[in-house]
Amino acid sequence: MRTARAFTLIELLVVLSIIALLLAVLLPALGGARAKAKAMQCLSNLRGMQTAHWMYMTDSNGEFIQVGLSHGGIHTNEDVAWINTLEEYYGSSLLHRSPMDDSPHWGPAPVGEPIPGASDVSQRRRTSYGVNNFIDRNVVPYGPNGQDPWPDHYRLDNVPRPAATVHFLIMAFTGPFAGADHPHVENWAGTFPPGTAGLQVQIDAHGGPSTSWDSKSNYGFLDGHAATLTFRQVYRADVDNNFDPYFAR
């Protein structure tokens, strides 16, 4: 009778070494594929929101959606907030959240951590996405060439290059702007714009260094397309960026 032959210790070590080597090669690739899939899902969310916005404009004489969730918990206006007015057009609140968004501030209260500095302790994060404040009639800082903003409306015909003008973006996961639905882009100008922008917008939501010119995030544009871009691709200076529609290129 023949006896079964067992693996030697050296053979087992060789097999384990090969498995460890394969895992070392495959895991980063799998992680990269997972991150890419999440980025694509986030882009799909943005495209869906842009499509819904076109439907909204059709029913609203061409006017844009408005923001209504303020940072700091003051001046909130639920009646105009786009997460409410746009919902009937895309039909699902799931699009409010990016698959990359691991913010600790998701609610509603008492679930989730309070928004830092908010006057309302019950304020929580309600959307991953925000709207470029330069195309909101109430919070636009100034109109073309530094003039006063339009008081009654903001429509597509006010924007010279819709395909170059950012509409939706990803709000900062933490900090005072985590509960808002818009940033204040006019405050980004200064010695290091990525540092200021990174406090309001998650400019590294999809990779790259944190708060850097090379930080990557997803952006939706007024013509309906969405793309993963570095911060330097959407903002270069206060007179050269893709947020102020009169400097967008």
Residues 154-166 have a mean pLDDT of 90
At 180 the pLDDT is: 96
**Measured between alpha carbons, how far is 145 from 241 in angstroms, rounded to an integer?**
14
Q: pLDDT digit string (tens) for 34-93?
A: 778 888 999 999 999 999 999 999 999 888 999 999 888 767 899 999 999 998 887 766
Query: What pTM, to 2 d.p., does this model score?
Result: 0.85
